[in-house]
């Protein structure tokens, strides 16, 4: 009897009170924080651009070079110009986000192997699936939506500064603030962003696979095949299927989106606010595009592959 | 009590080289086991198999779990530290604490902080600003704060000066180790830590050359030092290794009785370092 009791107590883990695992939410949040510590350009870059744009608003000058100034006489045209400038500001952030996200996706699983810190990360009870998942979440959700939020704020600050300068006569009055149109334009941009994220998810997943797999030069490894293969196909078979595929995967969904008439400027209507794109663009058609969802299935398979590669990639 | 590690017939090849060629051993709880072998003997590969970092053949249970399929569960009870350079250089000390606290259910931040207070390491410092010795101290602080059952150390003090090395092992034995914990350690500096070990496993060319509790070594291995004239009589008893030292000959025997050898010269239990050299050289000659 005594011995049985002793055996049981000896075999009981000493920290029976300690939880078996931290809550998944806490772990995920910690993993995301790690990404922001490690890849500081993810948030430093967008903030720098936001500050630069605000500076532009403060010191920038307006040069009007329109043949027909009457175009800007109407209040509607002034609102339209506001949304076009708003669009241009957002485009700056979109290009930045494109560079940041693709650079990050290509680096996020490579960097930790290059500096051998993967041995430290793997010494802690975090699964490869959760680690890769956190990195994917960072690339496809946190960074794009974070940059979008920053771009919204930057847009507000930009127009606030412009309004003040217009009011004191520092620049001519060419734009009129219109909260509804501003919101409509932001919504249109958000929807396009969501569509782009879904469309480019397989690309991000592909870059992560290369990142998990490459022993060196992940950039070359990820791009070179896609440059060489279409050329070889052209030489060998005289066809250009790969080239067409690449072109389709790079902008195909936007052709679907813009299937309707989408002229912001027309002879009959003059300038129209960008927010009207909400009605013109075929979001329903684009979001239900079968190729979009097939791409997502491919992305899921690629993310699974990246997880498996990280599990056993042994080059430390 | 069940073994902490139970390895049977582990195999692993890198191309044509067999890093593990049928390795079997077991590690009991509450032991400090030295995994000792020359460069490229398969030590690190064996550790990687135990930690589920690499695929391998054979049967392996660590804390009753299979590292191939139950790695995530296993890592809650296992800590490991490869040589010093694995903490990322961009990491701040405070971030290291926050990260471990965020992901490890058995990490106690206050223990790590108490340990760090005894060092010159500041919470705001980045790893790249710390000396090699300090990085090891930081890693040790993290490990001390984790209530693990098995600690695996792969050359933890490589490239550190003597003071840091001594401090490292003192802390490990005095403040960390107890009857419920097991430490598996590889090192090149065998002489320095041989008093630490309760068990040794010699591994050479992917095979286990010797696995024994240190207290049993005396009964199995003898080192006989005798004069050059007496050497032929010693050789007749078939030592597995001998070497000359200042005109005298040291011979190493396995399984001979003290009565047999004692008459020939000076008899003692070989040190682990000497036994290691004898075993490695001896097998290389045969």
B120 secondary structure, DSSP code: S
Rounded alpha-carbon distances, angstroms, from residue B121 to B21, B113, B125, B171: 43, 10, 7, 17
In order along its 286 residues, chain B shows pLDDT tens digits of 578 999 999 999 888 888 889 899 999 999 999 999 888 788 888 999 999 998 999 999 999 999 999 998 899 999 998 775 689 999 999 999 999 999 999 999 999 999 999 899 999 999 999 988 899 889 989 998 998 899 999 888 887 888 888 888 888 888 888 878 899 998 877 888 888 899 999 998 888 988 888 888 888 888 888 888 888 888 888 888 888 888 888 899 888 888 888 778 888 888 888 888 888 887 554 4
Interface touch B72/A127, C-beta < 8 Å: yes
Residue in A13, A29, A314 nearest the CB of B48: A314
- Chain A contact probe: residue of B13, B78, B102, B146 with most A CBs at under 10 A: B102
Burial of A176: CB neighbours in 10 Å, binned 0-12, 13-18, 19+: middle
CA dihedral of residues B163, B165, B166, B171 (deg, nearest 10): 120
Q: What is the DSSP string of B16-43?
A: TEEEEEEEEEEE-TT-EEEEE--TTSSH
How close, in Å, is residue B221 to chain A by CA atoms? Answer: 34
Q: Cβ contacts of residue A59 below 8 Å, gap of 6+?
A: none
A29 close contact with B: CB closer than 8 A = yes
Residue showing tokens 């490459």: A214
Q: What is the DSSP string of A41-59?
A: HHHHHHHHHHHHHHHHHHH
Cα A193 to Cα A199: distance, rounded to the nearest angstrom = 10
Task: Indicate the pairing of strand B5-14 with strand B57-62.
Answer: antiparallel
Report chain B residues whose CB lies below 8 A from the CB of A22.
102-105
Residues 155-184 of A with CB under 8 A from B: none
Report chain A residues whose CB lies below 8 A from the CB of B98.
30, 33
**Cβ contact A109:A211 at 8 Å:** yes
In chain A, the residue whose alpha carbon lies closest to the alpha carbon of B78 is A123
Report chain B residues whose CB lies below 8 A from the CB of A115.
85, 88-89
What was the ipTM of the complex prediction? 0.88
Q: Cβ contacts of residue B163 below 8 Å, gap of 6+?
A: B133
Rounded alpha-carbon distances, angstroms, from residue A281 to A193, A264, A286, A293, B273: 13, 12, 9, 19, 77
**Cβ contact B100:B67 at 8 Å:** no
In order along its 316 residues, chain A shows pLDDT tens digits of 343 333 333 344 444 455 677 888 899 999 999 999 999 999 999 999 999 998 988 887 766 665 555 556 677 778 888 888 898 999 999 999 999 999 999 999 999 999 889 999 999 999 999 999 999 999 999 999 999 999 999 999 999 998 888 888 777 777 888 888 899 889 989 999 999 999 999 999 999 999 999 998 999 999 999 999 989 999 999 888 988 898 888 888 888 887 766 566 665 666 677 767 777 788 888 888 888 999 999 999 999 999 999 998 876 6
pTM of the model: 0.87
- Chain B contact probe: residue of A3, A125, A131, A308 with most B CBs at under 10 A: A125
> Could you state, in order of their start, the residue ranges of all structural domains in chain A?
24-52+72-312
In chain B, the residue whose alpha carbon lies closest to the alpha carbon of A40 is B90
């Amino acid at each position: 009897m005594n011995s049985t009791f002793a055996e049981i107590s000896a075999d009981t883990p000493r920290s029976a009170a300690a939880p078996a695992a931290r809550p998944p939410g806490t772990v995920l949040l910690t993993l995301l924080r790690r990404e922001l510590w490690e890849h500081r350009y993810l948030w430093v870059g967008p903030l720098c651009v936001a500050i630069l744009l605000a500076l532009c608003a403060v010191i920038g000058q307006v040069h009007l070079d329109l043949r027909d100034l009457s175009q800007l006489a109407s209040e509607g045209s002034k609102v339209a110009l506001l949304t076009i400038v708003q669009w241009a500001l957002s485009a700056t952030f979109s290009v930045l986000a494109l560079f940041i996200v693709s650079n990050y996706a290509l680096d996020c699983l490579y960097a930790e192997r290059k500096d051998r810190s993967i041995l430290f990360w793997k010494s802690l009870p975090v699964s490869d699936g959760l680690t890769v998942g956190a990195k994917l979440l960072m690339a496809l959700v946190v960074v794009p939506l974070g940059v979008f939020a920053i771009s919204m704020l930057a847009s507000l600050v930009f127009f606030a500064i412009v309004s003040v300068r217009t009011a004191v006569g520092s620049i001519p009055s060419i734009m009129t603030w219109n909260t509804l149109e501003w919101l409509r334009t932001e919504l249109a941009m958000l929807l396009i962003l969501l569509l782009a994220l879904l469309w480019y998810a397989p690309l991000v997943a592909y870059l992560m696979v290369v990142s998990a797999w490459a022993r060196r030069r992940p950039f070359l490894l990820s791009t070179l095949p896609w440059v060489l293969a279409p050329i070889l196909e052209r030489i060998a078979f005289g066809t250009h299927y790969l080239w067409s595929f690449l072109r389709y995967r790079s902008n195909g969904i936007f052709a679907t989106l813009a299937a309707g008439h989408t002229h912001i400027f027309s002879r009959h209507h003059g300038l129209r606010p960008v927010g009207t794109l909400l009605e013109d663009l075929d979001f329903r058609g684009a979001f239900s595009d079968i190729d979009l969802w097939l791409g997502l299935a491919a992305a899921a398979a690629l993310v699974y592959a990246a997880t498996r590669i990280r599990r056993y990639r042994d080059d430390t | 009590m069940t073994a902490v590690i139970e390895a049977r017939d582990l195999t692993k090849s890198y191309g044509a080289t067999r890093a593990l060629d049928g390795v079997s051993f077991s590690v009991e709880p509450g032991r400090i086991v030295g995994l000792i072998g020359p460069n490229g003997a398969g030590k690190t590969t064996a550790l990687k198999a135990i930690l589920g970092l690499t695929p391998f053949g054979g049967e392996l249970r660590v804390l009753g779990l299979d590292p191939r399929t139950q790695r995530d569960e296993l890592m809650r009870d296992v800590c490991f530290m490869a040589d010093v350079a694995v903490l990322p250089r961009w990491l701040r000390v405070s971030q290291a604490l926050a990260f471990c606290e965020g992901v490890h259910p058995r990490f106690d931040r206050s223990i790590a902080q108490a340990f760090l207070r005894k060092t010159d390491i500041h919470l705001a410092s980045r790893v790249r600003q710390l000396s090699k010795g300090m990085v090891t101290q930081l890693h040790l602080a993290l490990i001390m704060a984790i209530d693990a059952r098995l600690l695996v150390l792969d050359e933890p003090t490589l490239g550190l000066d003597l003071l840091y090395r001594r401090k490292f092992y003192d802390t490990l034995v005095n403040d960390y180790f107890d009857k419920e914990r097991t430490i598996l350690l590889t090192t090149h500096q065998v002489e320095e830590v041989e008093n630490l070990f309760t068990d040794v496993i010699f591994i050479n060319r992917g095979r286990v050359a010797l696995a024994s509790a240190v207290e049993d070594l005396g009964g199995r291995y003898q080192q006989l030092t005798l004069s050059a004239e007496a050497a032929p009589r010693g050789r007749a008893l078939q030592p597995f290794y001998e070497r000359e030292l200042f005109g005298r000959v040291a011979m190493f025997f396995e399984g001979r009785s003290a009565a047999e050898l004692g008459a020939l010269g000076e008899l003692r239990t070989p040190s682990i370092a000497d036994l290691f050299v004898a075993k490695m050289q001896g097998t290389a000659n045969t």
